[in-house]
Structure formats: C-alpha cells, structure tokens
A and B are shown apart, each in its own frame.
Chain A
Amino acid sequence: SYGALARYRNLSRVMKVNDSAAIGISGDYADYQFMKSVIEQRVIDEECLNDGFQYTPKSLFSWMTRVLYNRRSNFNPLWNTFIVGGVQDGEPFLGYIDKIGVAYNDPTIASGYGAYIAAPLLRDAFEANPKMSLAEAEKKIDECMKVLYYRDARSLNKYEVAIVTKDGTMIKSPIVSETNWEVAHMIKGYE
C-alpha cells in the first residue's frame, strides 16, 4: 500500500536503471514519478550514443545527491528518500539519499521504519557474515520485510526486490512472506 492509504496495493517503488544499477524509493510518489521519467530519459539518451558507457551506481548516486541537495537549497525539495544500489567494478554498492540531500553509502541501508527495525537485523547479519551469498541475503531481506509487516501497522504483506549482480539487474515482484500469527492467541482480546 502507499503509506497510510491502503487503496493502491500494487504500486511499484523499485526501478531498474540499467544492467548495473537500480533504485528504490519512499516518500512522495509523484516526485518519484518525476525522478523516474528524468532518469529513464537520461538512460535512453545514453543508450542512443552507444559508446560503451552507462550510468554506474556511484555516478547515479552522485548525480541524484546533487539534484536533491540543490532542490532543498532552493526550498523546492523532492520529498523522497532514495536508495541506490548496484555493482561497480565487481563490487556491490548501496547508497542512501534523502530529501535534504543527506547522502551516504554502506553495506546495509534502510529508510523509514526500516531504519529502526531492519537496519539492526541487517547490520548484525552483515557483521557475522560479510561475504554472504545472494540467497542468504534474499532470505535476510525477507525476514526484515516480515518483521516490518508484523510491527508497522500501516504495512501490507507484499513486497518487491531489486537484485543487481554482475550479470544484470532483475526485479522480483510480488513476494509474500510466510507469517505466523499464532502468538495472537496468547494475547488477551485477540483469542
């Protein structure tokens, strides 16, 4: 669903940019649609040139940071949080940019409720196993999304994943987590 508006249950908030980068967003959907069309047009322009170069995750991250920071500096922000991810020179990259232009990159990134609930889970997992496989990472993401569904009152049990590897980018959607609400029986009032 889209924030507290549980009417649109099929909105996509991840976007494939090219074979080496993808972005995920939260915040104002209209501002995302604007950014999406700008990025798509830039990618087309670049494909036209056909010169062997394409946006890398870091260059995309840098450009988006500039855009967001400049917009906020002119009191006309894009009210979003962007997560930029991809693979560059064989190394994975993840970056976070928000509406005031704060930007950083880290092996684990989360925004919104995820920053409180998912980030600790992801950091622990990464610390224990920095070289985890794609399958293990997907499993961890599913665990985080499941916990977010349990804990965020305005969430739905449906999510999408964008996966970027050295072989390309793909988006898996929709994914439904397996939840266990047995604990509800133990709660007075929920029998």
Chain B
Amino acid sequence: YDLSASQFSPDGRVFQVEYALKAVENSGTAVGIRGKDGVVFGVEKLVTSKLYEAGANKRLFNIDRHIGIATAGLMADSRAVVEIAREEASNYRYNYGLPIPLKNLTDRVSGYVHAHTLYSSVRPFGVSMILGSHTVEEGPQMYLIDPSGVSWGYHGCATGKAKQAAKTEIEKLKMKDMPIADLVKEVAKIIYIVHDEVKDKNFELELSWVGEVTGGKHELVPKNVYVEAEKFAKEALEESDDSDEEDL
C-alpha cells in the first residue's frame, strides 16, 4: 500500500505521505517563533563538506516583501514549492492590488501541497515549511505546512531532525510578550542547543526576521544582530556545559 499516494492502507494511512514526513525528519532543524512585534526564523543548515561555499543553499526564502519561509526536507522540493508560493503572491497582487495576506498564501500553498497527495502520478513534497509575516493590520503571524498539506497557526514551532528537543525549548519561552530582539537570541540559542555535535559536525546558523523593526519586510538578520545572537547562543551553551560538570 506504500507504492502510490492514491492508495490507503487497511488501517487508513497514506504511506507515501508518512514517508515524505520521514524525509523532513532527516533534514536539519528549522525553528520559528512568533513574538509580540515580529516573527523570527532559525535554521540549522547542515554542512556536509568543507568544500562548500559559505552561505550557499540557503533554507530561508522570501515571498513578496513581507513573507518569509523557512524549510526543512528535500531542498529541491522546497525550491519548487517556494516558486509556487511566489507566483501565488504575484497573482494576488495583480488581481487585488495588495500584498497577499499570510492566511491566504498559506491556504493556497497547503492546497497545492495537498494536491500532490491525491494521485499516483506524482509524489508528495518532502518538505515542511514555516511561513511568517508581520503586517500593520494583522500583527505577527506564523503557520506551518507539512507534506500532507495540513497547516496550523503557531506561536512557536519546529520541524526537522531535532524538532522534539526544539519544541521542548520553545515551550519554556513566554513568546507572546517577547520583543523581536530577544527572540532572535533565543532562536539562535535553541538551534545551538538542539544541534547534535556528534552526528552532524558542521552547521551554519541561518537567521531571518520580519517585524516592526524591519518595517514589515522579511529579511536575513543584519550582520551585527547575527553576531550578537550567535555569541549569546554559544555562551548559553557553555554555561549549560559548565553546570553539567558542576553536577558531576
């Protein structure tokens, strides 16, 4: 029953979709937190070779000016879905003269992802994506779309290999009242904490934000903010290492 997405199993599962979820679980963690005045994304981009150019194969994307997407899963599939999202945003702008509201974009993209779980001629996308934006009308918003095409709104979410550990860390935060400057540091810290030094040696931290501070524009976090956040994350790691040793 697992050869095509058009077949249910006797116990009501669509295996192809579950396998797609497995693809997501094998990729580096992506984390998103929605705070008081903005949304921050963090991605643990696993670097499998020292020969790669730094900053290549980014997993954070822009849709229109005000929406950002963080992806986990198969890179090529991510890029295909992001391209669809960009076209949807462009079409909406053309028809309605306005930037697309995040809810509308999420609905359209989830519909597209879901459509690929209905037929035997295509395979589901092996991607989970976190979408976020900040507008004057709606404030900060964040949604997660998984390979089944289901989407939920979140205050904090994680996807990828360390999503459980990341979720635990996120739950410790009182994100609704946190300003974006604090969120950036927390996101960096969470990525550093959940990163498995043993299994995956090298990684690049990608950070992006959208909020009042950026005037509603989604962009990669500026260099000085990035450096500060990374420092905070590394120091927090050392502290917890020290406290572990004290217990011994």
Contact = CB atoms under 8 A, between A and B. Distances in A.
A45 B62 CA distance: 9
Interface string B29-66: 00000000000000000000000000000000111110
| Interface of chain B, main secondary structure | mixed
Contact of A45 (B86, B94, B219, B220): B86
Contacts of B63: 48
A74 interface: no
A49 B86 CA distance: 11
Contact of A44 (B61, B65, B219, B220): B65
Interface size class of A (residues with CB under 8 A): under 10
Interface residues of B, number: 11
B64 A48 contact: yes
B7 interface: no
B88 to A, nearest CB: 13
Nearest to A48: B62
A44 B94 contact: no
A37 B94 CA distance: 8
B93 interface: yes
A41 B97 CA distance: 11
A49 B64 CA distance: 10
A47 interface: yes
B90 interface: yes
Nearest to B220: A50
A45 to B, nearest CB: 7
Contacts of A44: 64-65, 90, 93
Interface string B60-104: 011111000000000000000000001000100110000000000
B220 A41 contact: no
22 contacts: A37-B93, A37-B94, A41-B90, A41-B93, A41-B94, A44-B64, A44-B65, A44-B90, A44-B93, A45-B86, A45-B90, A47-B62, A47-B65, A48-B61, A48-B62, A48-B63, A48-B64, A48-B86, A49-B62, A50-B62, A50-B219, A50-B220
Interface of A: 37, 41, 44-45, 47-50
Given A41-B90, A48-B86, 5 more contacts: A37-B94, A41-B93, A41-B94, A44-B64, A47-B62
Top 5 closest A-B pairs, CB basis? A48-B62, A41-B90, A44-B64, A44-B65, A48-B86
